[in-house]
Structure 1
Amino acid sequence: MSLCQAFSIDESNLATRREFIQLGEEERKLLSSLIPWAEKIAPELAREFYDQQFAFAPTRDFFAGMASRKGISMESLRSALESAQSDYFKGVFRGAESNWGTSYFEHRLRVGQTHDAIDLPLKWFIGSYSSYQTLTRKYLKKHSRNAKKREAAAAAVFKVFNFDIQAILDSYLLSLFRSMGVRLDSVELLPGQDRTEKIGPLKSSVRSLMSGILQTTDNLRRSAELLTHVSGEMESSASAVASATEEMDASISEIAANSSRASSVAGTAVQTSQKANQGMEGFAEASVEIGNVLSLITSIAEQTNLLALNATIEAARAGESGKGFAVVAGEVKELAIETTKATEEIARKIDTLRAHVTSTASDIESVAKIISEINEIELSVSAAVEEQSTVVKEISRSAAESSQNAEQTRSSSEELARLAEDLIDLTSKLEMAE
Structure 2
Amino acid sequence: MQPQQTFGRGGLNGFLDVDDLVDRIGLDEDEIAWRKEFIGFDEVDERRLSDLQPLVRANAETIADDFYENVLRYEQTRAIVDRSPKDVDALKQTQQAYLVSLAAGEYDREFFENRARIGKLHELLDMPLKQYIGQYGVYYDLILSRLNERIQQRVIDAIEEWVDDRDAEVEDGSLERLAGALGIGGGTESDEDGLEESFEATVRRTIDDGMMDVLSLLRIINLDMQIATDTYVDSYAQRLEDSIERRKRLAREVEDDVQGPIAELHDSSEVVARRAEAISDHTESQAAGITRAAGELNDMSAAVEEVASVADEVREESDRTERLAASGVDAADDALDELEAIEAATDRVADAADSLADRTDEIDDVVDRLDDLAERTSVLAANAKIESSRSDGNGSETMSVIANEVRSFARQTKADLAEIETAVEAVREDAAATVETTEETVARVDAGTDRVRETVDSLEAIHDSARETASGMEDVATAADQQARGVEVTAETLEDLSQSADTVASAAESVAAASQQQTASLREVRESVARLTDDEPTDDPPVYERLG
- TM-score in terms of structure 2 length: 0.33
Q: Which has the larger radius of gyration?
A: 2
- TM-score in terms of structure 1 length: 0.41
